[in-house]
Amino acid sequence: MSKTVAFIGLGNMGGGMAANLVKAGFNVNAFDLMEANLKAAADAGCTPMDCSKKAVEGVDFIVSMLPNGTIVESVYIDGDALLDVIPKTALILDCSTIAPANSRRVGVEAEKRGLNFVDAPVSGGVAAAAAGTLAFMVGGTEANFETAKTVLDAMGANIFRAGDIGAGQVAKICNNMLLAIHMSGTAEALQLGIDNGLDPKALSEIMLKSSGANWSLEKYNPVPGVMESVPSSNDYQGGFMVDLMLKDLGLAQEAANASKSSIPMGGAARNLFNLHKNSGGEDKGAKDFSSIQQLYSRD
């Protein structure tokens, strides 16, 4: 018998993730505040629901993909209070990227009610969400992690247990801080080469075979025209927005403050992306984060 998933939050990432659950044979109750997102989910084979509490009735899993920690806490605890109506046999997987403290609060409240919860933030962006090749970083017990893989395998290619509840969020924050650092550094190095007469494609090939090789060069080159099918070659449309990268860098700073960690390069990356967002008299927050290249470019 097919398992049923309640999917809460059907934005750019959640819509593709929910569709992949349908393709894997799950029954999916889909809920979102945006009518257009509900229609897209219905077109993908989900059952659209007009109420989050109805969506979770009798389900085996709940997956949420929400914008921030305040909303996550509101959905589960303070506003909709889904924790009060979720079946005791269900597993909750929150795939939102939020502060570890938010995840831990939801986890504690879930445990008080005899419910099972994991935080499972994702890496990979919109294209990976649609393709089902996301990476999931999970925080929770070993037993809940093994159960969560039943659902996560349908949406991702790489699934890791980082530790107990909240650990998934810490891993995601660390990963995206490093991503911001090497993307901004890659853009800076490429622009230095361009300004000194080098072909960015040739320079990219050289660095890929040298000690400067990194993911941004290999998979996501920030210079337009160097690599096909990446946002830089589509006017920086699609992908992972600058605003979302700034959100994650803010979470990294909060985590660093809480643990008294030193993150000078993370702080520098945050400043650079914020400068880029507000440069040139326009808000570039909706562009892909590889558009940091434009901060350095003279064009």
**If DSSP states are collapsed to H, E and C, what string results for 213-247?**
CCHHHHHCCCCCCCCCCCHHHHCCCCCCEHHHHHH
Provide the 8-state DSSP code for 292.
G
Nearest to 12 by CA among 43, 52, 40, 49: 40
The structure tokens listed for 149 are: 């893989």
Residue 80 pLDDT class (50, 70, 90 cuts): confident
- What band does 238 get if pLDDT is binned at 50, 70 and 90? confident
Span 238-244, mean pLDDT?
Answer: 92
3-state secondary structure of 196: coil
**Mean pLDDT of the 260-286 span:** 95
Give yes or no for a contact between 223 and 190, defined as CB atoms under 8 angstroms apart. Answer: yes
Interatomic CA distance for residues 84 and 216, integer angstroms = 43
The full DSSP string for 57-105 is TT-SEEEE--S-HHHHHIIIIISS-GGGTS-TT-EEEE-----HHHHHH
Candidates 222, 149, 147, 141; CA nearest to 179 is: 222
Other beta carbons within 10 angstroms of residue 140's beta carbon come to 28
Is residue 2 within 8 A of residue 60, CB to CB? The reply is: no
One of 3, 172, 201, 284 is an active-site residue; which one?
172
Bridge partners for 63 per DSSP: 7, 93
Q: Which of 290, 143, 275 is nearest to 214 (CA)?
A: 290
Q: State mean pLDDT over 81-85.
A: 97
Indicate the pLDDT class of residue 280, thresholds 50, 70 and 90.
confident
Query: What does the H/E/C string look like for 140-187?
Result: CCHHHHHHHHHHHCCCEEEEEEEECCCHHHHHHHHHHHHHHHHHHHHH
Averaged confidence pLDDT in the chain: 96
Looking at residues 175-204, what average pLDDT do you find?
98
Which pLDDT band holds residue 239 (cuts at 50, 70, 90)?
confident
Check if 39 is active-site. Answer: no
Query: Would you tell me how many other CB atoms lie within 10 Å of the CB of residue 164?
Result: 15
Q: In terms of Cα–Cα distance, which of 246, 267, 247, 269 is closest to 256? A: 267
Q: Over the stretch 43-77, which tens digit does the pLDDT of each residue have?
A: 999 999 999 999 999 999 999 999 999 999 999 99
Closest CA to 37 of 73, 80, 75, 66: 66
Mean pLDDT of 19-45: 97
Widest Cα–Cα separation across the chain: 64
- What average pLDDT does range 239-247 have in this prediction? 94
pLDDT over 90 at 90, yes or no:
yes
Structural domains of the chain, with CATH: 4-164 (3.40.50.720), 170-296 (1.10.1040.10)
Residue with tokens 């999916």: 28
| Residue 1 clears pLDDT 70, i.e. is over it | no
User: How many other CB atoms sit within 10 Å of the CB of residue 54?
Assistant: 12
Q: Is the pLDDT of residue 8 over 90?
A: yes
Model pLDDT for residues 115-173, shown as the tens digit of each residue? 999 999 999 888 899 999 999 999 999 999 999 999 999 999 999 999 999 999 999 99
Q: What is the pTM of this model?
A: 0.93
What's the average model confidence in pLDDT over 6-17? 96
Burial 252-261 (b: 16+ CB within 10 A, else e): bbebbeeeee
User: What is the average pLDDT across 173-181?
Assistant: 97
Q: How confident is the model at residue 193 (pLDDT cuts 50, 70, 90)?
A: very high
- C-alpha distances out from residue 52 to 49, 62, 115, 151, 284, Å: 7, 10, 17, 19, 33
